[in-house]
Amino acid sequence: MNPIEHSPGLVVNIATPDLKLSDFRLIAFDMDSTLINIECVDEIADAVGRKAEVAAITEAAMRGEITDFKDSLRRRVALLKGVSVASMDEVYRERLKLNPGTAELVRACKDAGLKVLLVSGGFTFFADRVKELLDIDYMRANVLEIENGMLTGRLVDQPWGDICDGEEKRRMLIQTCGQLGINPLQAIAMGDGANDLPMMGAAGLSVAYHAKPKVREQAMVAINAGGLDRLLELMK
């Protein structure tokens, strides 16, 4: 079907006669620019005067113009060398905000019996705090290496692999569904960048939030104006 503007800024690319939250068991969220208002890596880079350089790589990666997300992330993290943990704390305190409707949507999902998963190509330094703030059930993100209170410009390998890229997001979604004993079609996946497309493709309902053009086109639902809780306008 052709995309239908359900109401201003809410585009539906599929026939959704009777979508109900209770038909789903899991909702998976990207973090940067989806649950929260910033790209953390860009804001950390500001502390060493490299925001423009890092943000240009982030934008190209999110638009899908850089296909190797792992390489693009390593390049950006290398530019963060020398940033202090104190500077990162400042980014969290002064710049990081939940996007409009985030808390409302997460609460509505939990009330409907869904588990919540945060999967981020960003960093546990922020994702751990967002997880706690929103009482999120599962999380996967990247670990920045810190020595003597400073970033080394490297990431720490984890038991599941080195970097949470698009393929890892998809794997984590499927693995979490397996843990819950559900079909991935009982999952909702929400994101804004090209690295969210693999998990969005595996889920039963994919939602683009203020997303890059490529992601808006491929998602079943696109929220182009307003908060995350606009998804609830479609769900009984």
The tokens describing 132, both together, are 């706690």
Partners of residue 223 on adjacent β-strands? 10, 209
Alpha-carbon span 26 to 106, nearest angstrom: 11
CB 198 within 8 A of CB 182: no
Taking Cα atoms as reference points, which of 196, 219, 193 lies closest to residue 65? 193
Q: Please name the residue that has the structure tokens 């982030």.
A: 58
| Residue 192 structure tokens | 């804004």
Task: Respond yes or no: is residue 111 known to be catalytic.
Answer: no
Catalytic residue among 18, 23, 32, 128: 32
- Return d(Cα 143, Cα 162) in angstroms, integer: 9
Residue 72: count of CB within 10 angstroms of its CB: 21
Beta-bridge partners for 206: 189
- Alpha carbons 12 and 112: distance in angstroms, whole number: 22
The residues facing 21 across adjacent strands are none
CA distance linking residue 176 with residue 178, whole number of Å? 5
Q: Enter the tokens of residue 206.
A: 């994919």
137 is catalytic: no
Catalytic one of 30, 42, 165, 196: 30
Q: Which residues are catalytic?
A: 30, 32
